[in-house]
């Protein structure tokens, strides 16, 4: 649920697959931009689908000015266009909501970040692991979803399976350790299942209800919710595509998200996510001390500390014009990234509807186009000029056969 961040650290924003789809006549939906570069944003979003993404939407903000747009298709079978207001499975952006809730409990004196997790969850005690290590991914605890999902068949097999948080934690604790506690950053969704269980132990209420009570409802995020065991997104939405072994796209938008729970099950919109991060970074959700702890980071890449750092459910990236704070999320078929200036006044959130794509290091025109759009929206400048669009070899999931999707040429794209 974090491939986009890795792509950005390689100077490109990930979360996309190059596929050939009919895009002619798919309109943009945009509002007046004010100080935002409306034409450049519209062209930038079109470039993402010109490069091969099926559908993409975004909202950019600069203070009181807002631009919203969409490009491409929500459904390749019906030709239904993407829309900027669609609800989307936002994956690991859930973690920022969870960390915010726990930090509110810290501010109330009900939790200490340096407390061992065994103090509150003795059945899951791991020597040396503290609450803070869960939230900044330095616990060394293994990632349960690397055990659950090793192939496309696993995704299909578990499409309607209901998992309990205890099952997920047990899988993670049984997985190989990624390091000693506090040693280094190593992303693990198990950390945030444990964080959800901490919320329940401390409040006596279901974690998703407590997050709704403390964060979602006070901010009036009317399109943001946890689906629970419901398999369908309740509002307007796009398909959620994975490239399948037969060379076609398979839609996973109907699925049971209990496997992600407080690590990544949230549904939201670009507008709601921008409102949430604006409130968070603007100090409306946390006291100054807790927000400072949230922003205290460990390097994402120890050998490259200037690239970015992970705090408590929040990271910063050293992109042109940055740093920018936020998070990304990736579940099967839906990818989202949400980045913001340190004060939350300059913002962009982007979602796309195909995931799990190329082998690392392969040429990625969609990543180039997405990166350029994000930097344009945030007011920076990118020296990168995307190369010519070309066919790409993609793999649907580890262990799957390679697929080749020829891409349509991008009109007006510069070569280089």
- Say which range, 21-30, 120-129, 337-346, has the weakest mean pLDDT: 21-30
Coil, helix or strand at residue 308:
strand
- For the chain, the domains span 3-405
| Mean pLDDT value of segment 198-202 | 98
Catalytic residues: 92
Phi, psi of 324 (to 5 degrees): -125, 140
Select from 291, 249, 314 the least CA-distant residue to 53.
249
- How much is the pLDDT for 127? 92
pLDDT tens track for 238-293:
999 998 888 889 999 999 999 999 999 999 999 999 999 999 999 999 999 999 99
Q: How far is CA 371 from CA 22, 29, 349, in A?
A: 23, 20, 12
Task: Give the pLDDT band (50/70/90) at residue 310.
Answer: very high
Q: Residue 72 has which token pair?
A: 């491409």
Task: Enter the pTM of the model.
Answer: 0.86
What percent of the chain shows pLDDT beyond 90? 72
Region 155-171: what's the mean pLDDT? 96
DSSP, res 143:
P
Token code pair at residue 150? 């090793």
The mean per-residue pLDDT over the stretch 40-51 comes to: 95
| Residue 123 neighbours by CB under 8 Å, 6+ apart | none
Cα distance between the two ends of the chain = 31
| CB half-sphere exposure, 322, CA atoms < 13 A | 21
> What is the CB neighbour count within 10 angstroms for residue 234?
11
When the pLDDT of each residue in the chain is averaged and rounded to a whole number, the result is 85
User: pLDDT tens digit string along 117-147?
Assistant: 999 999 998 999 999 999 999 999 999 999 9
The span from the CA of 290 to the CA of 287, in Å, is 5
Asked whether the beta carbons of 373 and 35 are under 8 A apart, the reply is no
Q: Mind listing the pLDDT tens digit for each residue in 380-409?
A: 654 343 333 332 323 333 333 322 222 222
| Residue for token pair 């901010």 | 219
Instruction: List, as one string, the DSSP characters of 212-226.
Output: IIIIITTTT-TT-B-
The DSSP symbol for 23 reads: -
Are the CB atoms for 18 and 365 separated by under 8 Å?
yes
Q: What is the pLDDT of residue 360?
A: 66
What the block records as the tokens of 319 is 């992109």
Give 332-387 as a DSSP string.
TTEEEEEEE-TTSSEEEEEEESB-S-BPTTS--HHHHHHHHHHHHHHT--------
* Residues in a beta bridge with 326: 315, 339
The candidate with the shortest Cα–Cα distance to 55, out of 32, 37, 78, 33, is 78
Mean pLDDT check: name the lowest of 87-96, 208-217, 399-408: 399-408
User: pLDDT tens for residues 66-86?
Assistant: 999 999 999 999 999 999 999
- Say how far apart CA 43 and CA 45 lie, in whole Å: 6
**Whole-number Cα distances in Å, 177 to 39, 115, 148, 181, 237:** 48, 20, 16, 10, 37
What is 3-405's CATH superfamily? DD-peptidase/beta-lactamase superfamily (3.40.710.10)
pLDDT (mean) for 337-361:
89
The pLDDT value recorded for residue 285 is 98
Residues 67 and 371: beta-carbon distance below 8 Å: no
Residue 34 has pLDDT above 60, yes or no: no
């Amino acid at each position: 649920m974090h491939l986009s961040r890795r792509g950005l650290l390689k100077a490109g924003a990930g979360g996309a697959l190059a596929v050939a789809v009919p895009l002619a006549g798919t309109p943009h939906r945009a509002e007046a931009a004010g100080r935002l570069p409306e034409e450049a944003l519209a062209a930038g979003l079109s470039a993402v689908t010109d490069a091969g993404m099926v559908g993409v939407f975004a909202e950019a903000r600069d203070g009181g000015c807002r631009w919203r747009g969409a490009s491409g298709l929500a459904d390749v079978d019906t030709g239904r266009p993407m829309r900027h207001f669609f609800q989307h499975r936002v994956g690991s952006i859930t973690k920022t909501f969870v960390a915010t809730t726990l930090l509110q409990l810290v501010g109330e004196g009900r939790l200490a970040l340096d407390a061992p997790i065994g103090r509150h969850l003795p059945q899951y005690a791991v020597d040396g692991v503290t609450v803070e290590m869960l939230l900044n991914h330095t616990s060394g605890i293994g990632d349960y979803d690397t055990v659950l999902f090793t192939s496309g068949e696993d995704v299909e097999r578990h499409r309607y399976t209901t998992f309990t948080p205890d099952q997920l934690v047990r899988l993670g604790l049984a997985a190989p350790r990624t390091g000693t506690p506090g040693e280094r950053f190593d992303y693990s969704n198990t950390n945030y299942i444990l964080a959800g269980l901490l919320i329940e132990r401390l409040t006596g209420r279901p974690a998703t209800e407590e997050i709704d009570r403390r964060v979602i409802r006070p901010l009036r995020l009317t399109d943001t919710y946890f689906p629970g065991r419901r398999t369908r997104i309740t509002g307007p939405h796009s398909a959620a595509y994975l490239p399948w072994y037969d060379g076609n796209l398979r839609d996973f938008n109907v699925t049971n998200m209990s496997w992600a729970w407080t690590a990544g099950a949230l549904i939201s919109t670009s507008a709601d996510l921008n409102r949430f991060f604006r409130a968070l970074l603007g100090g409306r959700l946390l006291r100054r001390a807790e927000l400072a702890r949230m922003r205290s980071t460990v390097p994402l890449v120890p050998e490259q500390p200037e690239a970015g750092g992970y705090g408590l459910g929040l990271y910063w990236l050293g992109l042109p014009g940055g740093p920018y704070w936020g998070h990304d999320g990736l579940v099967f078929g839906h990818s989202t990234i949400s980045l913001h200036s340190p004060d939350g006044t300059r913002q962009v959130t982007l979602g796309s509807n195909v995931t799990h794509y190329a082998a690392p290091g392969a040429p990625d025109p969609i990543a180039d186009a997405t990166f350029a759009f994000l930097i344009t929206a945030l007011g920076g400048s990118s020296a990168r000029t995307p190369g010519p669009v070309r066919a790409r070899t993609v793999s649907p999931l580890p262990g799957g056969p390679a697929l080749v999707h020829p891409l349509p040429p991008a009109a007006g794209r510069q070569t280089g």
